[in-house]
């Protein structure tokens, strides 16, 4: 059973276990040995804007290079950009500054060194993102992608955990054999490469003037979003206004972004914009605001995109994947469209696995993680934004009209702090009885889902019902029983 990895990587309060420099160095050593097992010799590292990112990046890089593996740093960049770069590693050329540290070397020596380095850089076996996604700035996390831009499997995470926990003996055994350490090379054009990727292919159909307001959450999209939506290098037809794009290391996700859309909604109305786009801290999520100021969450974005894709004949295998957290309205909408709906556990990795197994090319979560597997290996907020904009242009309809395809049933989600040991709450009779009582009352008009958070010591209680008041009352009853028992 995994002890470090949660739903999306390793996460915690920065400078506290497991997000300490010493643990980050151990993780770096473990990742380096993981990639060396398959003959790879380099790892990409990116990060969001948290003040602790520099500290963890340095520690990770130290651990990786201590094992003779090179590090390519790409700076502040969205999580899906690292996945993209990892899947296109053969196209990356390292910055030449790494070859100019010794000015006394002759040109021929530099060429020989460049050839040697190029042969090692071509073997990039993993990518690491230092981010805690939508969490507050005090937290941080480490997400790991393997070759090809895919997230690790459970078995691979357990293997890396095993290496970390047995590291003391492993390092003592191997350290004397590593005389040629790795080096660190900055990749300065990573953001441009990512934007070039996003612009490719079907995005060329976006040719209508649209007024956008973009909330960057003071996070990893702060520069990239401006490049993509605000520069004529990519699109001439977006009139974009950017908010919360001035990160200071501590304002990431602070009353902004995908978790806090109130300011974005007001700005959309103030400017008469066609759409508002809200990303989270590492920009792998998107929540939209329509022209009336209403919030459009992941389920409705998924319904909109699936309906449009089916109408254009591009929804391969006529299947869509979502999680148990999706609103009942999504299931009923997909049924009415004649689209098969597959349901999986929480987390975009679970969604992707079900997509691969079933041949579905579209899936996502209500939180805003959307996966379009015809174009990318992971959830990507900016990619989702472009897909949604394409539907608006292609259908010639405002977002509010597109979103009306799906009725949203009242859904209340509450969190209860619990012990990190995660006891079996269904073994507590008072809690189990209350959950069953609520389910019986709601019947076919609602549902209950109680689960542990994959990233924090929280028990998440979700209730859907026929009206807001009843749904909230049911959710509060269950939370009250959980608090009474003091899990």
Q: Is 311 a catalytic residue?
A: no
Catalytic residue among 52, 66, 87, 133: 133
Say whether 185 sits in a helix, a strand or coil: strand
Task: Measure the CA–CA gap between 305 and 312, rounded to whole angstroms.
Answer: 11
Say whether 100 sits in a helix, a strand or coil: coil
Task: Measure the CA–CA gap between 436 and 445, rounded to whole angstroms.
Answer: 15
Task: Measure the CA–CA gap between 338 and 319, rounded to whole angstroms.
Answer: 9
Ramachandran quadrant class, 389 (left: phi over 0; alpha: psi -120 to 50; beta: rest)? alpha
Task: Measure the CA–CA gap between 340 and 355, rounded to whole angstroms.
Answer: 12
Residue 417 has what DSSP assignment? Answer: E
Say whether 350 sits in a helix, a strand or coil: helix
Structure tokens at 198: 């996003």
CB 287, CB 294: distance < 8 Å: no
Could you please report the per-residue DSSP string of 222-280?
Answer: HHHHHHHHS-TTT-SSEEEEEES----SS-TTTT-GGG--HHHHHHHHHHT-SEEEEE-
Largest CA distance in the chain: 81
| Residue environment code for 145-173, b if the CB has 16+ CB neighbours within 10 A, otherwise e | bbbebbbbeeebbbbbbebbeebeebbee
**Kind plus residue range of the DSSP H or E element containing 43:** strand 42-47
Backbone angles phi, psi at 4, to 5 degrees: -100, -45
Handedness of CA 373, 378, 379, 383 (dihedral sign): negative
Of the candidates 429, 443, 442, which has an alpha carbon nearest to the alpha carbon of residue 473? 442
Place of tokens 């934004």: 385
Place of tokens 């939180």: 367
Q: Please count the helices (runs of H) and the strands (runs of E) in the chain.
A: 16, 20
Residues annotated catalytic, as ranges: 133
């Amino acid at each position: 059973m995994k002890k470090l990895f949660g739903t999306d990587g390793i996460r915690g309060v920065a400078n506290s276990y497991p997000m300490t420099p010493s643990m980050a160095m151990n993780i770096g050593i473990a990742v380096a040995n993981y990639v060396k097992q398959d003959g790879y010799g380099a790892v990409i590292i990116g990060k969001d804007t948290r003040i602790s990112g520099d500290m963890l990046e340095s520690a990770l890089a130290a651990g990786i290079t201590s094992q003779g593996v090179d590090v390519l740093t790409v700076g502040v960049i969205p999580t899906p950009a690292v996945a993209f770069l990892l899947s296109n590693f053969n196209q990356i050329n390292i910055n030449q500054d790494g070859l100019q540290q010794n000015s006394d070397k002759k040109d021929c020596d530099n060429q020989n060194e460049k050839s040697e380095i190029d042969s090692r850089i071509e073997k990039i076996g993993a990518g690491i993102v230092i981010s805690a996604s939508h969490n507050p700035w005090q937290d941080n996390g480490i997400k790991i992608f393997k070759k090809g831009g895919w997230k690790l499997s459970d078995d691979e995470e357990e293997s890396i955990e095993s290496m970390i926990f047995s590291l003391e003996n492993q390092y003592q055994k191997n350290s004397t054999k590593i005389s040629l350490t790795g080096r660190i090379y900055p990749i300065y054009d990573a953001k441009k490469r990512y934007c070039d990727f996003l612009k490719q292919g079907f995005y060329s159909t976006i040719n209508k003037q649209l007024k956008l307001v973009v909330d960057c959450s003071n996070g990893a999209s702060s520069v990239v979003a401006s490049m993509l939506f605000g520069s004529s290098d990519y699109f001439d037809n977006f009139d974009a206004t950017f908010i919360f794009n001035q990160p200071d290391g501590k304002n990431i996700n602070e009353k902004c972004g995908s978790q806090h859309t109130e300011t974005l909604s007001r700005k959309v109305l103030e400017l008469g914009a066609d759409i508002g786009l809200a990303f989270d801290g590492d920009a792998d999520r998107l929540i939209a605001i329509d022209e009336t100021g209403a919030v459009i969450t992941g389920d409705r974005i998924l319904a909109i995109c699936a309906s449009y894709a089916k109408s254009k004949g591009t929804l391969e295998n006529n299947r869509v994947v979502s999680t148990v957290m999706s609103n009942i309205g999504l299931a009923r909408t997909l049924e009415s469209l004649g689209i098969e709906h597959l349901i999986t556990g929480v987390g975009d990795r679970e969604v992707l696995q079900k997509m691969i197994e079933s041949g579905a090319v579209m899936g996502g979560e209500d939180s805003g993680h959307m996966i379009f597997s015809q174009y990318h290996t992971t959830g990507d907020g900016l990619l989702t934004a472009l897909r949604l904009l394409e539907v608006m242009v292609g259908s010639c309809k405002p977002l509010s009209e597109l979103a009306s395809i799906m009725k949203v049933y009242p859904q209340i989600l509450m969190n209860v702090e619990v012990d990190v040991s995660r006891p079996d709450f269904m073994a507590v009779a008072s809690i189990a009885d209350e959950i069953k009582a609520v389910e019986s009352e709601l019947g076919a008009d609602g549902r209950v889902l109680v689960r542990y958070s994959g990233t924090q010591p929280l028990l998440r209680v979700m209730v859907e019902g026929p009206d807001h008041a009843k749904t909230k009352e049911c959710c509060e009853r269950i939370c009250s029983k959980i608090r009474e028992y003091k899990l």
